[in-house]
């Protein structure tokens, strides 16, 4: 029996539907999904893959980056950060968070600006692009969650 492993490849808020009657979230749009056997799941080259620019993981922009199932975990983590922003201060904070991420926007292949959750750095020695860290906006939101009155009230 062959076991298949999958990657959605396009997890973003607009691909998550809310069903109020059953209080259920459902992931949709499997157009970029891929399934692999254990032999082929080690990672596909990230060059030339279609992505959602804002929710892409760093390996999409890093030289020699490989895409695998953790790609979807990164995307979900980005969505969770936006959800936390919404829970703390509503849609206004979600919009501010996106605007802050856009300040360090990266031009992607199609010429659009994106609002990534990471920064890149080119090494001096090899000139290769390597992921650096979460953007200032992500770090700022992390700090904000720990100092927010909602968080402080629950800890008391």
Active site residues: 10
Measured CA to CA, the distance from residue 135 to residue 101 in angstroms comes to: 7
Q: Which helix (H) or strand (E) holds 87?
A: helix 70-89
Centre a 10 Å sphere on the Cβ of residue 135 and count the other Cβ atoms it contains: 19
Measured CA to CA, the distance from residue 36 to residue 40 in angstroms comes to: 6
Q: What share of the chain is helix, strand, coil (3-state, %, to 5)?
A: 40, 20, 40
DSSP helix/strand/coil, 132? strand
Alpha-carbon radius of gyration of the chain: 17
DSSP state of 113: B
**Length of the chain (residues):** 156
């Amino acid at each position: 029996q062959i076991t298949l492993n999958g990657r959605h490849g396009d997890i973003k808020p607009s691909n998550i539907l809310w069903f109020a009657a059953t209080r259920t979230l459902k992931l949709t749009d499997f157009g970029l999904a891929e399934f692999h056997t254990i032999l082929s799941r080690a990672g596909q080259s990230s060059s030339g893959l279609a992505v959602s620019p804002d929710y892409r993981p760093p390996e999409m922009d890093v030289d020699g980056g490989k895409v695998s199932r953790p790609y979807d975990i990164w995307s979900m983590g980005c969505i969770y950060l936006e959800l936390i922003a919404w829970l703390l201060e509503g849609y206004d904070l979600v919009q501010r968070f996106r605007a802050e991420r856009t300040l360090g926007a990266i031009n992607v292949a199609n010429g659009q600006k994106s609002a990534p959750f990471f920064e890149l750095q080119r090494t001096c020695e090899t000139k290769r692009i390597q992921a650096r860290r979460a953007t200032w906006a992500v770090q700022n939101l992390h700090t904000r969650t720990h100092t927010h009155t909602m968080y402080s009230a629950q800890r008391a």
